[in-house]
Amino acid sequence: MEKEAKKLFSRAKDSLSKAKRTYTCRTLKEVITAYRACTSSAEERALVKKESAHIRDLFKEGDTAFRRRNVAKLLFFHMNGYPTDFGHMECLRLAASPKFADKRVGVLGLTVLVDERASILMLMTNGLKADLVSDDPAVTALALTVLGDIATPEMLRDLTLELVSHLRARSPYLVKKAALAATRAVRKLPLDETLDIWDAVPDMLAMRSDAVHLCANTLIVSLVEQAAADGGRSGEPSPLPALRAACLPVVLQSLRDAVAGGKGQVHADADGSMASGVRNPFLQVQALTAVRALGTGASRDELCTVSDVLVAVATSTDASKLAGASVLYEMVRTALALDTTEAVQQTAVNTLGQFLAHKDTSVRYVALQEMASVVTRGGACAASVRQQRATILACVQEKDPSIQARAVALAFAIADRSNVADIAGQLLVYVRWLSGGGGSGGKGDADVAADEADTPTPSLDSSADGGARVADAATKLAQLAVQFAPSSEWHVDTLTAVLGAVDVLASEVVVSTFLAFLSVEPPAVQAYAARTLFEAGLARYSAGSVATPPTSPLQRDSGGVSRRKPRLERVAAYVLGEYGHLVVSGGGITPTAAASALTGVIAVCKWVTGEGAFEGGGMDGASGAPTIGDEIGRVRSHALSALVKLSVRSADSDLLSAARRATAALSDSGDVDTQQRAVEYHALLEGPLSGVALAALAPLPPMDYAAARQRLLAVGSRRATGTSMVAHTGLVSLLDDDFMGDRGGAPAAAPSAFGSRGAVDLMGDSSATDLIAFDGPLGGGTAAYEDGQPADLMALGQSTELVLANQPSNARQAAGPSGDFASSVLDDVLGDLTM
Amino acid sequence: MMHWMMLISRQGKVRLSKWFDASTTAQRATIMRDVVTLVLPRPSVMCNVVEWTSPPPPPSSPSPSGAPAPPSSASLARKLIYRRYASLYFVLCISDGDNELSALETVHLYVESLDKYFGNVCELDVIFNFDRAYFLADELFLGGHLQETNRATVLRNARAADELAERVVKFSEKDAAARRAAGVTSRV
């Protein structure tokens, strides 16, 4: 008795707790409300954990009353990123339930929670088979949804028979779903297992239903893809020609009908299929895609018919609305992809031109994208794209960076000799805008200092991405100049403008090619370049705007770097040194102006180098990239060299005395390299000009422009290189490269033929040495000097004898094998000097 | 084809996501984060297309038949097509060669259908009735393709299925209640 009572009690307790749990099962709405009321993610997690545990218990008990609700809750948790694996089995059970409501939720759960890799899907193959032959179209529709969304290849293979039977069903509702499920089967199965589907397509197209036509077109596209992927491997004769013969005319007819306004089509309500005045744009787009797929490899006659229909589409579709534009866009792609008549292709390109002026940004975007691919393909269409130049260039002003980038790429692509001036002009505007308002070259340092506090550094401040884009655009502009420049002067102007706009972001190859280009040009162009670059980069230092060198560190910070253009100044200094004597003697630049500008540059640079003032500032990014301080230091070196070269070659007394003053002043510079350089120059300039000085500072031999040009043009093909910000080596190492090719120090090694020739020249005729060549080895030896005796070096400045005694050994010690070469040259030079 | 569809709130919460490609949960989470950072900050002057590279699909289960590899594994260049409606972003991911403009229209078609179905739809409708939003999407898309372009037909089909489910639910509730009552009495 007691035993029985106990049993009864425990049973009652059990069922009570069960009932409690069951009846307290929260609804989906309650759970969502509670979830939304959570204030922290910890709370959310706790809620989901508790609710999940509850759901799991109910699943374990085999509860059926709340299964649906609980699976829906799981979907909600899944959407918010919580694990729901334990619910997969329950979805499967729901999907197998005879009740439609259960089945619906179960199928939804499967399509959302499970994908084709889950092995449990195989368990439902038989259930699906039963559903596919069900009398209830709603149940069959669910089964087709499973097949189309998540079925594995095995399931698709097992159920192909049932699937194909629905392709020929009477109700459009099932046919369209079956067609898309068949699309999945075609993508997942090999050709020989889907031949039944191929056969069923013409029957589908015989149905008078837009939706069925839409899905049949989708199926056709995937069938053609399948045939192409198969390529006769399965051993079956390709069913493609038969499909084309049966379907292409029907698809074209449906397009014609759609264009003509829906005659001959039966509709439940015509209103629903109209969008913005275009009759069923989705169907038209899909039909055009199918025509494109079927038309590849079609006969001449068939293509003529296609062309006619495309023209009909083009002429009767209004592009002002997005729906119409989508149809026209597909028309354009089909026209250009197939071998259609020239008139159609012309129409297509013109349509793209209209798109460029469309008010919707997305339409402009696709137009530019399509035009770029047309240009890449070349041919007659590319020429007609060129005629749209004005519209394309207008898009360079877009606010949307992705459109802008595309417009720029396209503008570069369509450039040729006839339109380069126009295009490069627009692109320069773009580059200036991109690098944040460069091109204000005329601004003096004085007023720059004033507004410096709130204006960030123009080019250096841009993000890495922006920097890459600037560098890329600069490289492309240089490529345009190299390929299509109408005149050498134009080339010089463009490169000056590019350097002015992007400065340190210009890649090394751009600068080196420009210098190589100048070296092979006639003196008139060289003089022009010297003048132009002087005005762009150096003239502002001559007027006395920097007469007073900045004193406080703060002032130096602002006045010195931010608006400086170190690379432009360096190039200008180099060019002025190399070709300046052509201008200084003949007019253009007065010797005084040149002297004061170069002295000005040196003065402004003076406080920067050797003090580590700008270490780590400015150029972030890859290690080994030079700091702003390095850049400025190189400017000073080049300005000094330029001053010395210019004074020696022009033999102008003003310049000579300025050069002597500068070298003397820098002989006690805190920076080792500069001091070294200054001491050497000072020795050369001591007393009356000797033959050695003239010979040592003689013009450089022309460089190998053709090779440099090749290198520059190759940048576009390996995209990434053009975007490297400032490469490890600047102009100086580039010169080293060209004149001491056997050092092999720089990554972009000069063509060996030229490099060795330069070296031979140097060896054979030591007098043709440019002192810039010493920069490399000496620079490399800085460390040695630093732990050597800086005091000695200070002393070196005092007398030539000391230079003679110490310099060669220092250089040798510093630079190892490459130093031998340099020091041997130095020996020669200095040896001559004392004799 | 469409690879997935997502509804995201302006705060970056996913309100609905429909996947037509196989992918792991971790990948889906990565993609959602990607989308939130790529799409939400774009100002309205920008175009509605974003180029995007999908993470590689998970290795599909080895198929004994040697079926051809799914073409999606070859090319992962994708485009995100998005449109903003009030506080909700609708984002579609399509293959590189698909018609972007048509995809934009597809988004609009879905939104219009939702609007008609719920009657002036708002974000809360989608939050609390996301299952219905899924059912509606299933009437509109299948396997990543559009299956019906006629809004009225979509609505008719969705409502018919709803009715069918409702009817059976009522019956089954009665049935369940009866069974439960029977169970309880038998135990006592």
Q: Summarize pLDDT for A798-809 with one digit per residue, the tens.
A: 333 333 334 344
Of A499-513, A577-591, A611-625, where does mean pLDDT reach its minimum?
A611-625
Residue A84 near chain B (CB below 8 Å): no
Are the beta carbons of A803 and A680 closer than 8 angstroms?
yes
User: What are the tens digits of pLDDT across the range A307-348?
Assistant: 999 999 998 888 888 999 999 999 999 999 988 888 898 899
CATH number of B2-149: 3.30.450.60
- Token reading at A678: 């200054």
Of A37-41, A196-200, A423-427, A625-629, where does mean pLDDT reach its minimum?
A625-629
Are the beta carbons of A69 and A28 closer than 8 angstroms?
yes
pLDDT of residue A66: 84
Task: Decide which of A378 and A197 is more confident.
Answer: A197
Residue B25 near chain A (CB below 8 Å): yes
Contact list in A for residue B130 (CB cut-off 8 A) is 75-76, 79
Instruction: Please provide the size of chain B in residues.
Output: 188
Q: How far apart are CA A822 and CA A834, in angstroms?
A: 18
Any idea what DSSP says for residue A40?
S
Contact list in A for residue B101 (CB cut-off 8 A) is 322, 325-326, 329, 362-363, 366
* Confidence tier at B172 by pLDDT (50, 70, 90): low
Q: B106 to chain A: nearest residue by CA?
A: A282
Q: How far apart are CA A6 and CA A487, in angstroms?
A: 109
Which residue intervals of A378-452 are DSSP H helices?
380-386, 389-395, 401-414, 420-434, 445-451
pLDDT of residue B177: 64
Of B19, B105, B134, the CB nearest to A275: B105
Residue A254 has pLDDT above 80, yes or no: yes
**CA A156: distance to chain centroid?**
41
User: What are the tens digits of pLDDT across the range B15-61?
Assistant: 999 999 888 888 888 899 889 999 999 888 888 998 888 887 776 55
Instruction: Please provide the size of chain A in residues.
Output: 835
pLDDT of residue A605: 67
pLDDT of residue B169: 52
Alpha-carbon distance B40 to nearest alpha carbon in chain A (angstroms): 15
Alpha-carbon distance A216 to nearest alpha carbon in chain B (angstroms): 10
A114-138 mean pLDDT: 87
Of B14, B67, B165, the CB nearest to A100: B165
pLDDT of residue A159: 92
Residue A241 has pLDDT above 60, yes or no: yes
- Token reading at A513: 């090619």
Are the beta carbons of A588 and A531 closer than 8 angstroms?
yes
Residue A828 has pLDDT above 50, yes or no: no
Task: Decide which of A785 and A278 is more confident.
Answer: A278
pLDDT of residue A26: 84
A435-439 mean pLDDT: 50
Task: Give B 75-104 residues with CB within 8 A of chain A.
Answer: 99-102, 104
Domain boundary assignment for chain A: 237-340, 429-834
* Confidence tier at A123 by pLDDT (50, 70, 90): confident
User: What are the tens digits of pLDDT across the range B74-103?
Assistant: 458 899 999 999 889 999 999 988 999 999
Are the beta carbons of B147 and B140 closer than 8 angstroms?
yes
Q: How far apart are CA A324 and CA A277, in angstroms?
A: 8
A208-232 mean pLDDT: 90
Are the beta carbons of A618 and A627 closer than 8 angstroms?
yes
Residue A418 near chain B (CB below 8 Å): no
pLDDT of residue A270: 44
- Complex confidence, ipTM: 0.85
How high is the mean pLDDT of chain A? Answer: 74
pLDDT of residue B18: 92
Domain boundary assignment for chain B: 2-149
Residue B67 near chain A (CB below 8 Å): yes
Alpha-carbon distance A510 to nearest alpha carbon in chain B (angstroms): 30
Alpha-carbon distance B49 to nearest alpha carbon in chain A (angstroms): 7
Of A41-45, A238-242, A292-296, A460-464, where does mean pLDDT reach its minimum?
A460-464
A66-93 mean pLDDT: 89
pLDDT of residue A811: 38
A776-801 mean pLDDT: 35
Alpha-carbon distance B129 to nearest alpha carbon in chain A (angstroms): 8
Are the beta carbons of A570 and A629 closer than 8 angstroms?
no
Pairing verdict, β B49-53 and A278-279: unpaired
Q: How far apart are CA A810 and CA A783, in angstroms?
A: 12
**CA A595: distance to chain centroid?**
44
Would you call B145 and A215 a contact, using CB atoms and an 8 Å cutoff?
yes
Per-residue burial over A330-351, b = 16 or more CB atoms within 10 Å of its CB, e = otherwise: bbbbbbbbbebbeebbebbbeb
A376-394 mean pLDDT: 82
